[in-house]
């Protein structure tokens, strides 16, 4: 079976599984939201290379605390990626991520990135409607480039402003 047919077969199987598990997630007011790890756009590799996962965890925590959204767990996203043999999220296009979002029952997705240059860290978050791919809102925040506590604070602020 060629690769394209295999991918669609996997997508179909995952869709059947996801539909059953996504229905309870849609019971919250805002529906389900999936948050992808923030992409590191820093030109020079740094010790903060794994910050994308840490920052996205803060965004997820903020959404959960609001009680308005059911957050799709990272494990479900990673399971779908494994099933589709897509590997790391860094290599997946936004359109593929949106298709995965539909499979797992997310109504909204949050994509983002961060970059550290000199003494400043900039973080960008985008709220995207899964069905249409429209960017509903975008937020940018900056913090001192060496202050992890401030990085987490702006991640929380951005998440609150995003929704």
Backbone angles phi, psi at 10, to 5 degrees: -60, -45
Looking at residue 83, its pLDDT comes to 75
With cut-offs at 50, 70 and 90, classify the pLDDT of residue 4: low
Report, as an integer, the average pLDDT of 106-119: 92
Could you report the per-residue pLDDT of 128-149, keeping only the tens digit for each? 999 999 999 999 999 998 889 9
With cut-offs at 50, 70 and 90, classify the pLDDT of residue 12: very low
In this model, does residue 21 exceed pLDDT 50? no
Looking at residue 142, its pLDDT comes to 97
Domains and CATH numbers, the chain: 3-162 (3.40.50.10610)
3-state secondary structure of 91: helix
Cα 127–129–131 angle (5° rounding)?
A: 160
Contacts of 59 (CB under 8 A, 6+ apart): 35, 110, 112, 125, 155, 156, 158, 159
Report, as an integer, the average pLDDT of 20-31: 49
In this model, does residue 125 exceed pLDDT 70? yes
What is the number of other CB atoms lying within 10 angstroms of the CB of residue 5?
9
């Amino acid at each position: 079976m060629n690769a394209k047919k295999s991918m669609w077969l996997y997508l179909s199987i995952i869709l059947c599984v996801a539909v059953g598990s996504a229905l309870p997630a849609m019971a919250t007011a805002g529906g389900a939201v999936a948050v992808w790890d923030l992409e590191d756009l820093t030109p020079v590799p740094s010790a903060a290379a794994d910050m994308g996962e840490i920052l996205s965890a803060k965004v997820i925590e903020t959404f959960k605390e609001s009680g308005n959204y059911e957050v799709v767990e990272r494990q479900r996203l990673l399971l779908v990626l494994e099933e589709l043999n897509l590997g790391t999220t860094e290599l997946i296009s936004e359109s593929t991520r949106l298709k995965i979002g539909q499979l797992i029952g997310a109504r909204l997705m949050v994509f983002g990135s961060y970059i550290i240059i000199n003494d400043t860290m900039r973080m960008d978050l985008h709220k995207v409607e899964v069905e249409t791919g429209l960017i509903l809102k975008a937020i940018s925040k900056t913090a001192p480039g060496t202050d992890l506590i401030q990085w987490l604070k702006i991640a929380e602020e951005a998440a609150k402003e995003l929704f």
